[in-house]
């Protein structure tokens, strides 16, 4: 067994006391001198254990409404003193400062207070000063001092102490120090993010506790993990572990389905919708979505915005799919879908996503506002002699929501609130359109009376001409090209309705 350093004295000052009792009793039974403060001291004494108030050590009471309790040389000297440095030990003796071998301190619940909608004054009061100072000091001096900065580590600490005869090894202390700095850095990042809401200091900080291990990354030779709170967004009701590629598709699916209010089903493959439809009922929406591309649907990610009922589940179950996402499942529907043991079934708790997005690029991170613009009928400007009918406007808005979430360059062809075909991820808009037209034909769709949506403007009238000749009757696009007039003139000459939104929706 590695040599361990016995704990002779400990300082306990915590906000959360659940689970602390076993540690207190163990320390007390091993003759450890315990120092404590305020509510923690009362808690320890309530267990029948002895502890000395920090105030009696420092000679100062808790002041400023509890803002200053432990900030004193007699506390921090005992924590920071280097046990292998004679001068440090001499000063401890000179100033009658006891050595402290273990610090257990957590932090005021800043993030929880912020999330509760508390006032600014209440939030500021939950910025910990003494606790984080104790944690940093103990972690810095890990050669001699053990530190625990979170109640999540109480059980782990107790196991260490028992294994080492009420002591810790150097490896234990270094590990605990790393965990402590993880806690303190996350805490400071949260505080900075709060202040930076209004100050807009050009600094990127993001801290996430915990990681969900993934089988591998995009490919089997790539290691991967997800840093986030997957369980806050979904309950996984069935199936294998979620993969990296599943997560990418799940993110795309959630972003897409948020756009729709009517019963809607979408099928995604490689982050793009290959099928989507809105109907009066969910079974009808599923059938129309699947008809859009039953080939690409194989192995896809399915998402809907209504409870997945028995009838729909029975039809969905005939298709091999990786993931199904719904706000809820009927008991019968869930039982049917569970018949495939690996099929991942997710119940969405919330579809709320962060307002900003970030992506690792080159040697840094690029951050941007999430594209939350959702055009409505009032945002449409008719630029042609022919005006879209009410039904066409509905289809244009439907197609525009889909193209917003397709990889650029992107074209969407739709009719009767059904995705007929999409051309995505092409290096030219013409190629994207030709891909969509050809794909619609492959699955037997007539484009007569269909609408077309483009994620960006048409630099030339060629796309408008190709779409018209394929049967498209109405077009929605951002507009803004120096050659807009050429596209409008072609539409006017051929009775095609065109509306512009003034909003580009590139997605890369």
* Segment-wise mean pLDDT, segments of 10 residues, the chain, 508 residues: 85 90 94 91 93 86 77 90 92 92 92 91 90 94 95 93 94 96 93 89 85 91 93 94 94 96 97 97 97 95 97 96 97 96 94 86 90 94 97 98 96 98 95 96 96 95 96 97 94 97 94
DSSP β-ladder status, 33-36 and 52-53: parallel
d(CA 284, CA 282): 5
| pLDDT in the model for residue 2 | 62
Beta strands in 47-92 (DSSP E): 52-53
| pLDDT in the model for residue 122 | 93
| pLDDT in the model for residue 3 | 82
Write down the catalytic residue from 6, 8, 140, 238. Answer: 140
270 an active-site residue?
Answer: yes
Check if the beta carbon of residue 17 is closer than 8 Å to that of residue 42: no
Write down the catalytic residue from 6, 8, 174, 270. Answer: 270
| pLDDT in the model for residue 154 | 93
Q: What are the residues whose beta carbons fall under 8 Å from the beta carbon of 493, sequence distance 6 or more? A: none
| pLDDT in the model for residue 401 | 97
140 an active-site residue?
Answer: yes
Among 323, 311, 322, which residue's Cα sits nearest to residue 263? 311
Check if the beta carbon of residue 270 is closer than 8 Å to that of residue 249: yes
User: What is the side-by-side strand order in the sheet with 52-53?
Assistant: 52-53, 33-36, 9-13, 102-105, 146-148
Backbone angles phi, psi at 233, to 5 degrees: -100, -30
């Amino acid at each position: 067994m590695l040599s361990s350093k016995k704990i002779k004295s400990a300082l306990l000052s915590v906000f959360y006391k659940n689970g602390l009792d076993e540690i207190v009793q163990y320390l007390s039974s091993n003759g450890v001198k315990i120092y404590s403060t305020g509510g923690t001291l009362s808690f320890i004494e309530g267990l029948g254990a002895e502890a000395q108030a920090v105030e009696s050590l420092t000679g100062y009471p808790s002041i400023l409404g509890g803002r200053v309790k432990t900030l004193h040389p007699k506390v921090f000297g005992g924590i920071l003193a280097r046990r292998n440095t004679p001068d440090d030990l001499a000063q401890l003796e000179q100033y009658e400062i006891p050595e402290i071998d273990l610090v257990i301190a957590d932090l005021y619940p800043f993030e929880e207070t912020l999330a509760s909608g508390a006032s600014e004054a209440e939030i500021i009061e939950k910025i910990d000063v003494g606790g984080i100072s104790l944690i940093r000091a103990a972690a810095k001096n890990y050669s001699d001092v053990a530190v625990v900065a979170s109640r999540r580590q109480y059980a782990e600490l107790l196991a260490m102490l028992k294994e080492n005869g009420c002591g810790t090894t150097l490896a234990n202390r270094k590990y605990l120090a790393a965990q402590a700095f993880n806690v303190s850095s996350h805490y400071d990042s949260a505080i900075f993010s709060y202040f930076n809401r209004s100050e807009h200091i050009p600094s990127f900080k993001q801290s996430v506790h915990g990681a969900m291990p993934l089988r591998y990354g995009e490919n089997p030779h790539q290691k991967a993990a997800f840093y986030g709170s997957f369980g806050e967004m979904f309950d996984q009701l069935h199936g294998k572990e979620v993969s990296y590629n599943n997560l990418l598709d799940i993110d795309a699916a959630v972003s897409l389905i948020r756009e729709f209010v009517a019963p809607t089903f979408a099928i995604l493959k490689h982050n793009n919708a290959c099928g989507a439809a809105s109907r009066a009922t969910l079974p009808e929406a599923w059938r129309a979505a699947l008809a859009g591309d039953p080939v690409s649907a194989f192995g896809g990610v399915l998402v809907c915005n209504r409870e997945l009922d028995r009838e729909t589940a029975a039809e969905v179950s005939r298709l091999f799919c990786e993931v199904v996402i719904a706000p809820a499942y009927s008991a019968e529907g869930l039982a049917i879908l569970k018949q495939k043991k690996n099929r991942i079934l997710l119940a969405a708790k919330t579809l709320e996503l962060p307002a900003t997005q970030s992506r690792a690029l080159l040697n840094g991170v690029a951050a941007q506002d999430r594209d939350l613009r959702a055009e409505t009928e009032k945002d449409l400007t008719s630029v042609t002699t022919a005006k879209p009918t009410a039904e066409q406007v509905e289809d244009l808005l439907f197609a525009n929501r889909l193209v917003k979430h397709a990889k650029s360059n992107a074209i969407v062809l739709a009719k009767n609130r059904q995705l007929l075909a999409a051309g995505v991820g092409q290096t030219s808009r013409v190629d994207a359109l030709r891909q969509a037209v050809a794909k619609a034909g492959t699955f037997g769709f007539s484009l007569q009376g269909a609408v077309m949506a483009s994620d960006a403007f048409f630099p030339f009238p060629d796309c408008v001409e190709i779409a018209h000749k394929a049967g498209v009757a109405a077009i929605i696009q951002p507009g803004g090209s120096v050659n807009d007039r050429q596209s409008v003139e072609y539409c006017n000459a051929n009775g095609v309705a065109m509306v512009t939104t003034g909003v580009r929706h590139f997605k890369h």
